[in-house]
Copies of this chain bind each other. A is one copy, B any other.
Amino acid sequence: MPLAEFALISRFFAPLATDSGALSLTDDACLIEENATCDLAVTTDALIEGVHFLNRDPANLIARKALRVNLSDLAAKGARPLGYLLALALPRQVDEAWLEAFAAGLADDQRTFAISLLGGDTTATPGPVTLAVTAMGRVPRGAMIRRSGARPGEAVFVSGTIGDAGSGLELIKDEAGEGPEAQFLVGRYRLPTPRLGLGVALRGAATAAIDVSDGLLADLGHIAEVSEVRISIDAERVPLSGALRGLRGSGLDTIVRAATAGDDYEIAFTAASERDALEAGLRAGVPVTRIGRVESGKGAVMIDAAGREIPISRPGYSHF
């Protein structure tokens, strides 16, 4: 597969997005106009054993993560989720205990997020466990937060802390998940928290938003590309958890790794008013940190304390 996902999408699939609601495939969700007061946001994400989760991961966590990464897309759009469809391809060796745990995970998260399974398809596969979740949510008419609204002069923010999930995945791979700090980081990888309350609070306050799945810099790069702006991040402002600082220190190397690792599922966004942005965080009960600014130009970059651009070899994670 010589093509990266974005090249592949723009070359082969973007020309197929002829409806305006597809947003040229440049956003986390498409938009269906429902009525005079409401739009429907719809998003789909696939998770594959061996790529997005490990064969030995507990089935209930696989189910919840599949649901949560889709809810996270809705959160970044300011949508309130209503339900989801599930296409599930299962190898023959999957047994009833696995299915029971998988369904129990879905049931737990349905209660947590007040959503329902709406439909689905179950089939056998000669390959790995493969799930595609399609999640739907509602947003007031015209209030969906897009990737395209960032303007020079605005500030850039991110919720929660960055780099925990990437570090958690490293710990799992190194079989070094012992101790409370390591367990916190592994937990952040295994079970992200979609920032749904924050997304709703950001309606009208955020000019552009994205959930951090590929990596903070890579995802802000997507906003920069679609908004046709440059985004500058101050490295020392990137919020790191106590657990990450405890295990990895808070040097520039840790910050660069944090900002280029994926799977945090925090919301990165731009806003014209810092006060509105921070108040949205307060209302949602989620810490929000100002990390940079929107400028004229192209791309997303990280700046050190001396104001120099930090060279980054790989801004984020790609499954290709």
Contact = CB atoms under 8 A, between A and B. Distances in A.
Contacts of A102: 12
17 contacts: A1-B94, A1-B124, A3-B99, A12-B99, A13-B86, A15-B103, A19-B82, A22-B116, A34-B40, A43-B119, A44-B120, A44-B134, A45-B121, A46-B121, A51-B125, A123-B320, A127-B130
Interface stretch (A24-32, A157-165, A169-177): A24-32
A87 B46 contact: yes
Please state the number of chain copies in the assembly: 2
A83 B46 contact: no
A179 interface: no
A46 B96 CA distance: 21
A83 B30 CA distance: 10
A42 interface: yes
A249 interface: no
Interface string A77-107: 0000011011111111111100110110011
A52 B126 CA distance: 11
A16 B125 contact: no
Name which of A52, A92, A120, A126 has the most chain B CB atoms within 10 A of its CB: A120
Given A110-B18, A116-B16, A99 B44 contact: no
Contact of A136 (B32, B83, B92, B126): B32
A272 interface: no
A48 B124 CA distance: 8
A8 interface: yes
A251 interface: no
B125 A13 contact: no
A252 interface: no
Interface in A143-164: none
Name which of A9, A107, A118, A126 has the most chain B CB atoms within 10 A of its CB: A118
Contact of A130 (B9, B17, B32, B130): B130
A247 interface: no
A48 B116 contact: no
Contacts of A95: 2
Contact of A123 (B48, B103, B121): B48
A15 B94 CA distance: 20
A67 B60 CA distance: 31
Contacts of A29: 119
Nearest to A17: B117
A1 to B, nearest CB: 5
A121 B1 CA distance: 16
Contacts of A36: 35
A16 B117 contact: yes
A289 to B, nearest CB: 29
A21 interface: yes
A240 to B, nearest CB: 28
